[in-house]
Amino acid sequence: MTLIQMQPRSADANPGHRTAVEVMDAGGPQVCDDMSVEVALAVMAAARTSRLVVCDQDDQRIGLVTRTDLTAVRDSGAHTDRVRLRDILGGTDRQPHP
């Protein structure tokens, strides 16, 4: 089972003008990197957000995925139900984008 960690947003949060570091430091839905693309999209829909912070098994933040990222992967011809968020991030070396 994949755990989801929710954190409340601050009242002054303005996601329109944030750097990648600010996004990674911000509260919001955090999910484990072993979550599938389909489940991540469902979490986004339920949380009413367009991005998820991805954490590894040590609960370290390793990246950020957006609805656009996940939709592109889901709609690609190479997609299977075995694709995990870690596969999209390409390992822990990937830098998150805003």
**Chain segment 70-84, per-residue pLDDT in tens:** 999 999 877 778 889
Instruction: Say whether domain 4-8+17-89 belongs to CATH 3.40.50.300.
Output: no
Of all residues in the chain, what percent carry a pLDDT higher than 90? 48
Question: Which pLDDT belongs to residue 33?
Answer: 95
All structural domains of the chain with their residue ranges: 4-8+17-89
* DSSP of the chain: ---EE--PPPTT--GGG--HHHHHHS-S-EEETT-BHHHHHHHHHHHT-SEEEEE-TTS-EEEEEEHHHHHHHHHSTT--TT-BHHHHHTSTTPPP--
Confidence (pTM): 0.66
Which residues neighbour 82 within 8 Å (Cβ) at sequence distance 6 or greater?
36
Place of tokens 């755990």: 3
Confidence bin at 6 (pLDDT 50/70/90): low
Q: Is the pLDDT of residue 41 over 80?
A: yes
28 versus 61: the higher-pLDDT residue is 61
